[in-house]
Amino acid sequence: MKLTGAQIVWEVLKREGVEVVFGYPGGANLPIYDAMLDYPVHHVLVRHEQGAAHMADAYARVSGKVGVAMATSGPGATNLTTGIATAMMDSSPTVFITGQVVSRFIGFDAFQETDVTGITLPITKHNYLVTRVEDVGPALREAFYIARSGRPGPVLVDIAKDAQQNSTEWQYDPAPLKLRGYRPQRHPLCRQVEQALELIAQARKPLILAGQGVLLSNAMRELQEFAERAQIPVAMTLLGIGGFPASHPLNLGMMGMHGEAWVNQSIQEADLLLAFGMRFDDRVTGNLKTYAPNARKIHIDIDPAEINKNVRVDVGIVGDLRETLQTMLEHLPRLDHSVWLEHIQEMKGESAVRDIQYLPPDGHLYAAHVIHDLWRFTGGDAIITTDVGQHQMWAAQYYRVDQPFQWITSGGLGTMGFGLPAAIGAKFARPEAEVWAIVGDGGFQMTAAELSTAAQEGIKVNVAVINNGYLGMVRQWQEFFYERRYAATPMRSPDFVKLAEAHGLTGLRVERREDVQAALETARASDGTVVIDFRVEQEDSVYPMVPAGADLHNMIRRPVRTAIVETGEDEL
Amino acid sequence: MTMERKMAHTLVVLVEDKPGVLNRVASLFRRRAFNIESLTVGHTEQPGLSRMTIVVEGDDFAIERLTAYLYKLVNVVQVEDLTHTQSVVRDLALIKVQAPPESRTQIMQVVDVFRGRVVDVTNQSLIVELTGDVEKIDGFVEVLRPFGIIEMVRTGVVAMERGSTPLYVPLNGNGQAHPHPETISEN
Ligand SMILES: Cc1ncc(C[n+]2csc(CCOP(=O)(O)OP(=O)(O)O)c2C)c(N)n1
């Protein structure tokens, strides 16, 4: 059949099962937009291309399918880049389709020409510049395949306008793709699995470090079976949250810079670390020289380049985590580590009282209150997206996630502005779910224009603005490390209630703990998107904290005071 | 085992012959903070494959990292470190040297000893072509220097392992990637 390049774009998307795309039109992708009207796909018109990228990213993380965003050439494409880099750092399977100027103008600084493949080279898993209509189909098919296989990531396809307009004979070829230089290794090698099992048999203080790989490879069941059978406790990275139920007795909690003290202490004392689909980011290791000094290390990752990158390991296994755990489970015996587990419990007892659950009961509203109450109110079942900053860390600490694909946050890049668009993307992935974006007053304003997108789409997401009047996390660093010199961190915000109302949405303000519950109920009862402006304590800090580059066990602890969370049924 | 000694490594990188591949490889070196000492690209016996020979300084660990990063590039088909192998390594130099009549004979003798070739002659100068390994050319340049080198260019090395086995064996379609050095199977 003879099709235009623009039609081929939608044909491939249809074959790939794409139901929703997020994007923004312009001169260089007009043919693609024009052809779209003939295809049964839902297009979400964003207010800024960064929003489209985050929506596609979050859509992918929640649904497990490839997320798609599109933009025009030049400024459209450059606006996508923050979102592409975010998806890259967090291994999110995404395809970005950009329009490019007519091919004979490429290289002549034409109107709205930007070297998009050049700009996105280091922030994509792979990218394509397509200048001939014959290459549109093959490039897009490869893009989907590369985006979702191996270690997932963003792939960008930049299509010249004439390649969209010209026609060619084209037929979808369902045969599996074979790329000469790209063959992800899914099956682990036996010898390394054996070595790993040997180390496990010798260990007395083993600890699993569960990363996002657990979710990306759908290894939740295998991980749980593994941890239970071998009685090995599990610590999670920020992106690993949801891969292992928070309520599971073997779950220690989050590790790293704002990980709970007993978790980091356990890592430092462990004699074996089993790193499952995580990458020893500097935010989880602290000073590498003193990191887990007594531990041998087993590292399982689909990306060979992660093995021995930050931490030298004793056994490195390249493979799909789920397949690897399945192989290991065939041989893994029941083990007992009760002495070690009791020891961790003792450490937990001491630090739990201090760092996480306790804040002064001085009548103020704390972010921790809000998030704790939100957790109880939603029964822990909401999809939570966050922005970046203190509220993100508090959300990780206080919103206890039991289910996979329910916790969506920008980890690797730490992109402010992620929260609201991510919530919209998540809602499209799971329309029936209750979605809450927990955002700071700073980050919210970076992409608040997407409220308008939510309003136009008539979808319901809930935005909890943790409004402390500061760029809180930076203010915290200034408090701790720059003698409280608050350079450029106090921030004046618009009236968020009115902002919501200006969009035809519901806005609420909460200033006292007593009013949190009622506001949450109002939010749930309302039809459309709701913004709640939580006016929280302004100079609160996230504890504990490992200063950047410090030893993992040298944490700044919360000064001992009294409880924030009342005892009894309110116990976490 | 790894030796923590920095030395020049000669990597052969087979890449798909597609636009932008050189940029991808070069960009990777820059982004991951590796310094390229020399880089050459050319066609191979395999249609659609180009062969880069890259000389880079680093210890064995760094080279192992670099190899893993290179494999992350979708267009990179194979990476081999020929440093610790029996290999033929060749660099080619063109050297324009001052050669007035009084020193000309002497220069010609040096060229002869090194098995170079004179490829251009004027009253006052010669262009000499020399092929050889890096040390040989370094040595030649040192000997010529006192005569007055006007201009010089070197291609950077190309390298090939000795013996009859080919570097590239097309995969038999079992879907397995070229293994990372750490993961080479023994089963
Ligand atoms: C795009 C971007 N710019 C700057 C930063 C640096 N940064 C990290 S956290 C933070 C403060 C965020 O403030 P806010 O959104 O109010 O959240 P809070 O920390 O107060 O919860 C900043 C500026 C960033 N992560 N992303």
Contact A418, A84 (CB under 8 A): no
Q: Which two tokens stand for residue B23?
A: 């940029």
Pick the residue whose CA is nearest to atom 8 on ligand 1. A389
Distance of CA A127 to the CA centre of its chain: 22
Q: Do domains A190-350 and A360-535 have the same CATH topology?
A: yes
One-letter amino acid identity for A230? A
What proportion of chain A, given as a percentage, has pLDDT over 70?
95
Domain boundaries, chain A: 2-169, 190-350, 360-535
pLDDT tens string B98-135: 999 999 999 999 999 999 999 999 999 999 999 999 99
Q: Is A178 a catalytic residue?
A: no
- Chain A contacts of B4, Cβ < 8 Å? none
pLDDT band at A560 (very low <50, low <70, confident <90, very high): low
Domains parsed from chain B with CATH numbers: 7-86+162-178 (3.30.70.260), 89-159 (3.30.70.1150)
Pick the residue whose CA is nearest to atom 3 on ligand 1. A416
Q: Is A165 a catalytic residue?
A: no
> Cβ–Cβ of B65/A182 closer than 8 Å?
no
Tell me whether A460 touches chain B (CB under 8 Å): no
pLDDT tens string A376-418: 999 999 999 999 999 999 999 999 999 999 999 999 999 999 9
Which fold would CATH assign to domain A2-169? Answer: Rossmann fold (3.40.50)
Amino acid B2: pLDDT? 46
pLDDT tens string A151-201: 999 999 999 999 999 999 999 998 999 999 999 999 999 999 999 999 999
pLDDT band at A352 (very low <50, low <70, confident <90, very high): low
Ligand 1 centre and the CA of A420: distance in Å? 14
The A383-386 sheet, strands edge to edge: A407-408, A383-386, A435-440, A462-467, A530-535, A506-510
- Whether this model's pTM surpasses 0.90: yes
Ligand 1 centre and the CA of A439: distance in Å? 10
Q: Which helix (H) or strand (E) holds A438?
A: strand A435-440
pLDDT tens string A486-545: 999 999 999 999 999 999 999 999 999 999 999 999 999 999 999 999 999 999 999 999
Q: Which residues contact B165 (CB under 8 A, 6 or more apart)?
A: none
> Mean pLDDT over residues A433-446, rounded?
98
* Closest by Cα among A237, A235, A240 to A251: A235
One-letter amino acid identity for A524? R
Q: Which two tokens stand for residue A202?
A: 């010798």
Amino acid A570: pLDDT? 39
Amino acid A68: pLDDT? 98
Regarding beta strands B158-161 and B87-98, do their DSSP bridges make them parallel or antiparallel, or are they unpaired? antiparallel
Q: Which two tokens stand for residue A312?
A: 């030298």
Ligand 1 centre and the CA of A447: distance in Å? 13
Catalytic residue among A473, A476, A478, A496: A473
Q: Write down the residue that tokens 């200048």 correspond to.
A: A131
Q: How far is A457 from chain B (nearest CA, A)?
A: 37
Contact A210, A240 (CB under 8 A): yes
Task: Write out the CATH class of domain A190-350.
Answer: alpha beta
> Cβ–Cβ of A178/B73 closer than 8 Å?
no
> Cβ–Cβ of B186/A191 closer than 8 Å?
yes
Pick the residue whose CA is nearest to atom 26 on ligand 1. A416
> Mean pLDDT over residues A98-112, rounded?
96
> Cβ–Cβ of A129/B19 closer than 8 Å?
yes
pLDDT band at B136 (very low <50, low <70, confident <90, very high): very high
Point out the residue among B27, B182, B185 whose CB comes nearest to the CB of A307.
B182
> Mean pLDDT over residues A360-364, rounded?
70
One-letter amino acid identity for A41? V
Classify A386 as helix, strand or coil: strand
Residue A358: Cβ within 10 Å count:
18
* Closest by Cα among A10, A44, A40 to A25: A44
Tell me whether A179 touches chain B (CB under 8 Å): yes
Q: Which of B31, B74, B172, B174 to mutate to test the interface with A (most CBs of A within 10 A)?
A: B74
Q: What are phi and psi of A235, to 5 degrees?
A: -110, 150
Catalytic residue among A19, A112, A113, A134: A112
Distance of CA A532 to the CA centre of its chain: 23
Which fold would CATH assign to domain A360-535? Answer: Rossmann fold (3.40.50)
Amino acid A354: pLDDT? 56
Q: What is the mean pLDDT of chain A?
A: 94
> Which atom of ligand 1 sits closest to the CA of residue A82?
1
pLDDT tens string A273-284: 999 999 999 999
Q: Is A111 a catalytic residue?
A: yes
- Chain A contacts of B176, Cβ < 8 Å? 183, 185
Question: CA-to-CA distance for B145 and A518, rounded, in angstroms?
Answer: 87
Question: CA-to-CA distance for A130 and A155, rounded, in angstroms?
Answer: 13
Amino acid A351: pLDDT? 64
The mean-pLDDT minimum among A48-57, A313-322, A376-385, B5-14 falls in B5-14
Which DSSP string do the residues of B25-68 spell out, in sequence order? HHHHHHHTT--EEEEEEEE-SSTTEEEEEEEEEE-HHHHHHHHH
pLDDT of B72 > 50? The answer is yes
Helix axis angle, A190-202 to A321-329, nearest 10°:
60
Amino acid A358: pLDDT? 59
> Mean pLDDT over residues A279-299, rounded?
96
pLDDT of A67 > 80? The answer is yes
Q: How far is A73 from chain B (nearest CA, A)?
A: 19
